Amino acid sequence: MNREEQKLVERAAKGDRLAFRSLVLDNSAAMFRLAFRFTCDAHAAEDVVQEAFIKAFQKLSGFNLDASFSTWMHRITVNTAMDYLRREQTRDRYEQEAAECQPDRIDERPDRETDISRETLAAMADLTDLERAALTLRHFEGHSIAEIAETLDLTTNACKQAIFRAVKKMRAALKPLVTT
């Protein structure tokens, strides 16, 4: 965490709303991208981001200032997104959206691109919440396994196993697309 961010977190932890606003402005886009990969829905992702920041503000007094705010925020966003998935039982929604797959944008692409997007969505839907979270953080967000283990409150080995299972499932699902 850089000094500027650390100062903001310190001020926000004392109830300084303006400092927290700066943290929200600086981190919203990254949290949105993260949340979208879990929810596959822009409106839901925004809901997750809002809820995550409110949780963050409420927990800020217990935040360890030696830790990284963005890593901490990631953890809260991931947990909030997973809560959302459990609440909404998004498996059905994923499958429905995999069928629809944002028609406005993706229908303009060649059929093969559409197939790949649909299959990717459907394959992600078939992962467990834990596998999806681990794969999202590793593959899309570029977090190390150690960071992911901390975020998901897992041992490093359990985290690796979740990633191995996720990759194995994704390979099986996506293989037909790259061999045809």
Partner 1 sequence: MTKITDNDLILLYYGEHEDAELPRRVAEDPALRARLDELSRELEPLDRFPVPEPDPELGVRTWQRISSRIAEGSVPQRSGWLASLLAPRFSFAGLFAIVAVAGLAFLLGRESAPEMTEGVAGTTPAFAIDSRRLLNTRVGEHLTEADVLLTGLANADADPRNADWAAAMVLSNRIYAQAAESAGHDQLARLLREMEPILIEIANRPDSSVPVDDSLLFRIRTQAEQLDPNEPI
Q: What does the binding site for partner 1 look like in residue numbers (CB under 8 A)? A: 17-18, 20-22, 24-26, 28-29, 32-33, 36-37, 42-44, 46-47, 49-51, 53-54, 57-58, 101-102, 105-106, 113, 116-117, 119-121, 124, 138-140, 144-145, 160, 163-164, 167-168, 170-171, 174-175, 177-178
Q: Which is nearer to partner 1, 66 or 166 (CB)?
A: 166
Q: Are 70 and 151 in contact (CB under 8 A)?
A: no
| Of the candidates 113, 112, 139, the residue with the CA atom closest to the CA atom of residue 127 | 139
CB 99 → partner 1: shortest distance, Å?
Answer: 14
CB 65 → partner 1: shortest distance, Å?
Answer: 20
CB 40 → partner 1: shortest distance, Å?
Answer: 9
Q: Which is nearer to partner 1, 27 or 75 (CB)?
A: 27
Q: Which is nearer to partner 1, 1 or 167 (CB)?
A: 167
For residue 14, give the 3-state DSSP assignment: coil
Q: Which is nearer to partner 1, 66 or 147 (CB)?
A: 147
- Give, for 19, the enclosing helix (H) or strand (E): helix 17-39
| Of the candidates 132, 177, 146, 111, the residue with the CA atom closest to the CA atom of residue 36 | 132
Q: Cα angle at 142 between 96 and 65, to 5 degrees?
A: 110
CB 17 → partner 1: shortest distance, Å?
Answer: 5
Q: Which is nearer to partner 1, 25 or 66 (CB)?
A: 25
Residue 66's Cα: distance from chain center in Å? 23
Q: What amino acid occupies position 83?
A: D
Residues 6+ apart with CB under 8 A from 67: 1
CB 138 → partner 1: shortest distance, Å?
Answer: 6
Query: Tokens for 117?
Result: 């997007």
